[in-house]
Amino acid sequence: MITRHRFRKITNAVMLTLTGLCALVAVGAMLAILGFLVWKGAGSLNWDFFTKLPAPVGEPGGGMANAIVGTGKLLLIASLIGLPIGFLSGVYLSEFGGRPMSFLIRYVTDLLSGVPSIVIGIFAYAMVVVPMKSFSTLAGGFALGVMMIPIAVRGTEESLRTVPPNLREASVALGASRTTTILRVVIPAAFRGILTAMMLALARVAGETAPLLFTAFGNNDWSPGWTHPIASLPVMIYNYAISPFRDWHRQAWAAGLVLLVLVLLTNIAARLLFMGRAAEAER
Amino acid sequence: MSSPGIGRVPIVRASARATEAGAVPEAPPRIEVSHLNFYYGSKQALFDISLQLPTNRLTALIGPSGCGKSTFLRTLNRMYETQRHTRIEGEILLDGENILGMDVVALRRKVGMVFQKPNPFPKSIFENVAYGLRINGYEGKLSDAVERSLRRAALWDEVKDQLQKSAHALSGGQQQRVCIARALAVNPEVLLLDEPCSALDPVSTAKVEELLFELKESCTVVMVTHNMQQAARVSELTAFLLDGHLIEYNPTPQLFTTPSDPRTEAYITGRFG
Amino acid sequence: MATAAHPAAPQVRSHAHPPGFFRSFRNRLRKLIGTDWLGYVLSLVAAVLILAITTALVWQLWTQSALSRAKFGWGFLVGRTWSPLFEHLGALPFIYGTVVTSVIALLIAVPLGLGAAIFLAELAPPRASSWLAFLIDLLAAVPSVIYGLLGIFVMVPFLRQVVDPALKRTLGFLPLFQGPIYGVGLLAGGLVLAIMVVPFIISVSREVLLAVPRDQREGALALGATRWEATWGAVVPFARTGIYGSIFLALARALGETMAITMVIGNDPKIRASLFAPGASIAAVLANEFVEATTPTYISALIELGLVLFCLTIVLNGLARLLILATSRRGGAPA
C-alpha cells in the first residue's frame, strides 16, 4: 500500500512535469522561429532591400521593393473582395438570417474555410487566369480575397452577437428601421470586434504563398496596372529559398523577417484591440 | 434500520432518535477543529471556529447562504486548495493528526465528499463506483466492492441490471446516489455532504435521507443544508453559522427547541435567511 | 456620399441651403436607409455570393478534372506511376506521401499538444496560461513559407547530420529507418507539419479542457485522486470529444498544408518504405508542377488531385466541427 502510494505520487510528479515540458517546447518553438529569423535576417536587411529591384543572378545586392509593393497591391484587391462580402454576410447571419438559409450559409462558410489554400489557387486559376489568359494581380487578389471571406464572416457574426438584444429593441422602439438600427446602433457597438476580425483576416492571407503561385505568379520587375504577373513577398521567399544561390538565401531570410514582423504585428495589434474591448466591457 | 417514508418523519421523532443515541457530545471526537480562520484573498470567510465532530454521528451545518458553511466543509478535506488565493489558519485534527500537514491524497481517501450538484463522471455506473478503488489499487474483487457500495447507497436494486449504462443517463436522484456510492467505495471514515439534496426532488430526497441513517452507523457524517427541517430530521448535532462565525453548536433537539443564542432563534423561526 | 455620387450637381448655392436636387437625393437616401429591406437585401446578396463562390469552386474542380477522370477512372487513385511525359498518371505516390507525413505529424503533435494544453488549462496560473496561449496562437499565425524557410536551412541540415544517423543507428533494423540519408524526405515533411499543427491542437484542446465543469475535477480529488489522476481520469475523458475534434482539425490542416512541406519533402513521386527517402504530397506536386503542366490531360490530372485533396479535407473538417460542437453543446458529456 505504501509503495503503491509512492508510485502514484511519483507518477503525478513525472506526468505534471512532462506536460510542463510540452508547453515549454511549444513556446520554445515560437521563440526559436523568431530568434532564427532575427539572427539570419537582420544582417541582410538594409535600405536597398526596401528600395531596389531584385538584382540579376550573379550580381550581388538588389532588394525586393517590387515584392513589397506587390504584396500591398494584392492585399488591397483581396480586401476589396473579401471584406465587404464577409462583413455583409456576417451581418446577414447575425441580424436577418432565417433558419434554413443561415444554416446553409454557415455550413458553406465553414466548408470554404477548410479548403486547402493550394486548391483555392486552382480555383482562382480557373476563374480568372484562364479567361484573362494571363497571370495577374487580379487573379492573386481574388484567391486571397476568397480566403479572407470565412474569417471575416465568422468574426463579424460573433462580434455582432455580443451586442445585447435590448439595444436593438430600444432603437426599434424609437421608430428606427432595422437598417438604421444596424448602421447606427449595432455596428458601432461591435466595431472593435469587427475590426479585429478584419485585421486577423488580413494577417492570415498576407503570408499565403500557395494560392499565389499560379495566379499572381511572380515578377522580377515592377508590375504596371492590375493585369500583369506581380511579385509578392511570400512567393519571393519561396523562390529564393529553393534557389542554389547563397546571396538569394540571404535575401530570403531578410524577406522572411519582414513578412513575419508584418504578420505578427498585425496579429498582436488585432488582439490588443480585442482585449481592450474586453477590458472596456468589464468596467 | 430502515424506516420507510422517513421524509415525513416529524421533528419530534428525530429528536427522539438523537436522545436514544445517548449523550451525544460524549461520543469520542473524530475531528477536532480549533481556532480556524479562513481567507479568500484579503477577505476573511471564517472567524476563529472551534468545534468537535463526534465519531459516527451526523452533524448538520446550517445558516443563511454565504455564511461560510460550505467553506467550512471544504476545509475538512482541504478541497479549498483547488481555489486560488486562499489561506487557512488554525488546527484541524483527524484522529489526533493535523490534516493541514497530512498528505492531501491520503486525507481525501479518509474524508470523502459528496457535492451539491450530482457530478458523476461520464463513465458507466460501475466505473464511477470503481474509480476510487482503481486509483487506490484495490486488491479484492472489484465487482463485489461495487455491489457493496451500491447497496449501501440504496441504489443496487434499481441499477443492478444496467451497471454498464452511462451514469449520465440516470435521474438526478440516482446520480446523486451513484456519487454517494462512489464516495463510500473507498470506506471513508468521514463523509462530507454539501447540500446533497438541494438539486433533488422530494422522493429522491427522502431516499437520500433514509440512507443517511444507515451511513452514520459506520461513518462520521458532516452535512451542509439550507433546509432546517432536514437538519432536524437527520442530525444529532447542529452548528449554526452566521457571517463566518460559529454562533451555536448543540445537540439538534436542543438547538431547535431551546436555542441559547437569540440569533439562532431568529434564524430558525424564519426571521432572516 | 451624396455629393460624391453627383459631382456635377448643377446649381450649388450654399452649404446651409442645399439645392433642391441635392436635398431630394439626401432625403431619398435617408428614406432608403429608413426601410427595413435595404440592409436585408444587401447582406443577403453577400451571403448568396458566398454560396455562388463555393458552388463555382466545386464546379470548377469537377469539370476541369473531367478529362482526367474520363481517362483514368478510379484507377487514378491507385496508380503508382507519375510520368507526365507518357501520360501515365497515378495519384498513389502523392496520396501515400500526404498520408505518411500527416501520420508522422500527428504522432508527434498530439502528445505534445495535448500535454501542453493540459499544462495550460490545469496547472499554469490563469494569467501565465493566457499569456502562453497568446504566444502559441501567434505560432499558428506564422506563414507557412517561413516554416519552410526554417525547414530548409535549419531543420534539414540538423536531421541530416544528427537525427537521421542516430535513428539509423538505434532503429535501423526497421525498414522505416533504412537507406541513404538526404535530410529532405518524408520524415522532414512530417516534422515540419507537426510543428505547424501543434498550435491548433493546443488552442482547441485548452479551450475544451477549460470548459470542463469544476465539479468533475473536484469529484475525483475528493476520492483521493492525485492531481494527475484527476486530470487524466476525469477531466480529459470529459473533454475527449472536443479533443478528438482538435485532432481532426489538425489532420485537415496537415493534409492541405503546401509550402512548408513542398520545401522539405524532396519531391520525388515514388513510394518507398524508408522515412529518410524523398517523397511527394498532393499539395507539393500541385505547387511544383501546375505552372509547368502543358498538356490538357496533365493539367486535368493535377486538378483531379486538387479535387481529391478538397474532398479529404472537407470530410475531416466536417467531422472535427461536429465533434467540437457536440462537446460544447452537451457540456462535454460523451455518449
Which residues in C have their CB inside 8 Å of a CB on B? Answer: 125-126, 213-226, 229, 233-234, 237-238, 332-335
Chain B positions touching C215 (Cβ under 8 A) are 115, 117, 119
What is chain C's percent helix, strand, coil content, to nearest 5?
75, 0, 25
State whether the Cα torsion B261-B267-B271-B273 is positive or negative.
Answer: positive
CATH at residue B148: 3.40.50.300
* pLDDT confidence of residue B241: 94
> Average pLDDT of C65-89?
88
- Per residue in C176-233, pLDDT (tens digit) is 888 888 889 999 999 999 999 999 999 999 999 999 998 899 999 999 899 999 999 8
Same-domain check for residues A38 and A66? no
Same-domain check for residues A64 and A119? yes
Task: Please tell me the distance in Å from B84's CA to the nearest CA on chain C.
Answer: 9
* pLDDT confidence of residue C19: 59
Range of the domain at A32: 2-42
Of B82, B123, B166, nearest to C221 by CB-CB distance is B82
* pLDDT confidence of residue C323: 82
Half-sphere exposure of C107 (CA within 13 A, CB side): 9
Residue B273 lies in a domain: no
Same-domain check for residues A80 and A18? no
Find residue B91's DSSP bridge partners: B34
Is A263 within 8 Å of C143 when comparing Cβ atoms?
A: yes
DSSP state of B59: E
- Per residue in A193-251, pLDDT (tens digit) is 899 999 999 999 999 999 999 999 988 888 888 989 999 999 999 999 999 888 899 99
Chain C positions touching B107 (Cβ under 8 A) are 224
Task: State the Cα–Cα distance between residues A111 and C55, nearest whole angstrom.
Answer: 11
Q: Grid coordinates in use for C18?
A: 442645399
Total domains, chain B: 1
Task: State the Cα–Cα distance between residues A255 and C237, nearest whole angstrom.
Answer: 45
Q: Dump strand ranges (E) for chain C.
A: 82-83, 88-89
- Per residue in B130-177, pLDDT (tens digit) is 998 888 888 889 999 999 999 988 899 999 999 999 998 999 889 999
Residue B60 lies in a domain: yes
CB C78 within 8 Å of CB C163: no
pLDDT band at C334 (very low <50, low <70, confident <90, very high): very low
- Per residue in B210-236, pLDDT (tens digit) is 888 888 888 999 999 988 889 999 999
Same-domain check for residues A159 and A264? yes
DSSP state of B86: E
pLDDT band at C4 (very low <50, low <70, confident <90, very high): very low
Same-domain check for residues A23 and A83? no
Same-domain check for residues A160 and A77? yes
Residue B1 lies in a domain: no
Write down the residue that cell numbers 539570419 correspond to.
A40
Task: State the Cα–Cα distance between residues B102 and B91, nearest whole angstrom.
Answer: 12
* Domains of chain C, earliest start first: 75-329 (1.10.3720.10)
> Average pLDDT of A163-190?
84
Is A26 within 8 Å of C113 when comparing Cβ atoms?
A: yes
Total domains, chain A: 2
* pLDDT confidence of residue C1: 37
pLDDT band at A150 (very low <50, low <70, confident <90, very high): very high
| List of chains touching C (3+ CB pairs within 8 A) | A, B
Q: Grid coordinates in use for A118?
A: 493550394
Same-domain check for residues A52 and A38? no
- Per residue in A14-50, pLDDT (tens digit) is 999 999 999 999 999 989 999 999 999 998 888 888 9
What is the ipTM score, two decimals? 0.91
Same-domain check for residues A160 and A53? yes
Residue B231 lies in a domain: yes
Range of the domain at B93: 6-268
Residue B81 lies in a domain: yes
Same-domain check for residues A152 and A20? no
pLDDT band at C146 (very low <50, low <70, confident <90, very high): very high
The answer, for A7 touching chain C at a CB cutoff of 8 Å, is no
Same-domain check for residues A6 and A102? no
Give percent of chain A above pLDDT 90.
60
Residue B25 lies in a domain: yes
Is A4 within 8 Å of B136 when comparing Cβ atoms?
A: yes
Same-domain check for residues A161 and A21? no
Strands B237-242 and B58-62: parallel
* pLDDT confidence of residue C299: 92
